[in-house]
Amino acid sequence: MVFEGSYYSLPTRYIGDQVWVRGTPRLVEIYHDDHLIKSHPRAQKKGVWQTDEKDYPLSAQHFLQKDGPWCIGEGRRQGPFVGQLIEEVVAPKTQLSQRKAQAILRLGEKYGFARLNQACKYALTYGNIRYESLRKILEKDLADRERQAAEALRLKPLLKKSASYLRGLKTRTLSWEVPS
């Protein structure tokens, strides 16, 4: 519910019902059928969310239990780079960052946590912690391609040196006459 530019939660059973609001300098009180159903501390500026977690349905409360510290711990169990990336994602301590962290962990369920750890390392190397970027890294297997390219570059000098001993250098001299 919106009151003077700020947002206040209500229990989900009142979605779609008409409510009326009374604002005091310190409180916002919400009424339904002349009964007080909710009160919140009044936001001091516009755009503030006043949310009571008990107002969420039970299915959404499960989401709230998997908070930032839980996601960091789960990420660390899946790999050091997963944990490090999730720490950066949840640093703002918002529900949006919590959702992103949970989505990153779901990527591990889809692609495997070893690949997710490798993709997180790749993303952290470039300072990119966006979920969409991480998903594309996994979809296109970019982290593994870069690892293979680095491995090839590391082995290239060894291959040149060892290959030169396998057979001798053949040279041919070509000559031709130019008609006058």
Question: What is the per-residue pLDDT across 60-82, written as a single tens digit (0 to 9) for each?
Answer: 666 666 788 999 999 999 999 99
Q: Do 47 and 5 form a contact (C-beta atoms < 8 A)?
A: yes
Number of domains in the chain: 2
Q: Is residue 167 part of a domain?
A: no
Domain containing residue 136: 66-144
DSSP helix/strand/coil, 43: coil
pLDDT of 49 reads 85
Q: Is residue 125 part of a domain?
A: yes
Question: For residue 84, what is the enclosing H or E element?
Answer: helix 80-89
Whether residues 17 and 49 share a domain: the answer is yes
pLDDT of 99 reads 87
pLDDT of 143 reads 78
Q: Is residue 166 part of a domain?
A: no
Amino acid identity, position 170: K
pLDDT of 157 reads 58
- Which residues does the chain have with pLDDT short of 50? none
Q: Is residue 152 part of a domain?
A: no
